[in-house]
Chain A
């Protein structure tokens, strides 16, 4: 079955530390990849997306993600986190351009200590 795995349930970092959140998907065909972020008390926001082309994608607020097809991965990175990055991060995959269906990971809660 098509699935998305986020390996870290809760990550705690100090400000200025580097961040990498893992995301793996289960299918080897065409995929469209997303990271969403949910700040405390706010709704899900699209952080970045990958459809094709350069596998290194830059999003808002200094985040980037790299699509590695051979590893079925789309990890999220940020070189230096801030307290304001405290949020829950969700990886989502659309398999084969299928109409509308986004498969979500369970999310990773990031806590950044000031």
Chain B
């Protein structure tokens, strides 16, 4: 397994601002992912963070709203831009350690509240 950390663990932000969430892994991984868990809902994949190329976004998520960086094999960031109260969620990063991209291990999450 891997040790995955996220910063910040929680934040309260005002609408219209942006927040960047960091995800750090203690070993090199090829695939990293970002999920959102809205209150009372299940986890939903936002995008796959690819090292050396642009992120791949799922339907309903766009780069302008959720820009992602993946500068190396142990680190990624997700920015939630121009926030509104509807963005209040838990944001989680995950990594795939083996060749199966769907066998994923999750970080502790970032709880975001937008006022």
Contact = CB atoms under 8 A, between A and B. Distances in A.
A101 B58 CA distance: 9
A104 B45 CA distance: 9
B41 A106 contact: yes
Indicate the size class of the contact surface on chain B.
20 to 34
A104 B100 CA distance: 17
A90 interface: yes
Of the candidates A43, A97, A105, the one having the most CB atoms from chain B within 10 angstroms of its own CB is A43
Interface stretch (A14-22, A44-52, A72-80): A44-52
B50 to A, nearest CB: 10
B103 interface: yes
Contacts of B104: 46, 100, 102
Given A32-B100, A43-B106, A46-B105, A100 B92 contact: no
Contacts of A49: 103
A34 B43 CA distance: 13
Interface of A: 4, 32, 34, 36, 42-46, 49, 51, 90, 92, 94, 97-102, 104-107
| The 5 A-B residue pairs with the shortest CB-CB distance in the complex, in nearest-first order | A94-B102, A44-B106, A104-B42, A43-B108, A104-B43
